[in-house]
Amino acid sequence: MIQELGVQAFMNIASHIIFMIITWQVLQAVRLDEIFKKNRIFEARVVTIFLTIAIGSTVSHFFIDLIHWTQQILYLF
C-alpha cells in the first residue's frame, strides 16, 4: 500500500514534468513576444513560464484522472 503511493507520486511528478516540457516546446513556436510592447522580453518570458505551468499541469491532471478512472471501471462489474 505504501509502496503503491510512492509509485503513484513518482508517476504524477514525471507526468507533470513531461507535459510541462512538451508545453514549453509548443509555446516556443508561438511568438508571444510580439504581443508585448518593445523591450518587454522579461515579461514575455514570465508569461510563457506561467502558461507552461498552467497548461502542462492541466493536461497532466487530465491524463492522470483518465488513468485512475479507467482503473476504477473494473469495480463496475
pLDDT band at residue 41 using 50, 70 and 90 as cut-offs? confident
Tens digits of per-residue pLDDT, 49-69?
999 999 999 999 999 999 999
Q: Name the strand (E) or helix (H) holding 13.
A: helix 2-29
Show the domain range for 15. 2-76
Question: What is the domain count for the chain?
Answer: 1
- Across residues 65-75, what is the average pLDDT? 92
Indicate if the pLDDT at residue 1 is higher than 80: no
| CB neighbour class for 25 (10 Å; exposed up to 12, middle 13-18, buried from 19) | exposed
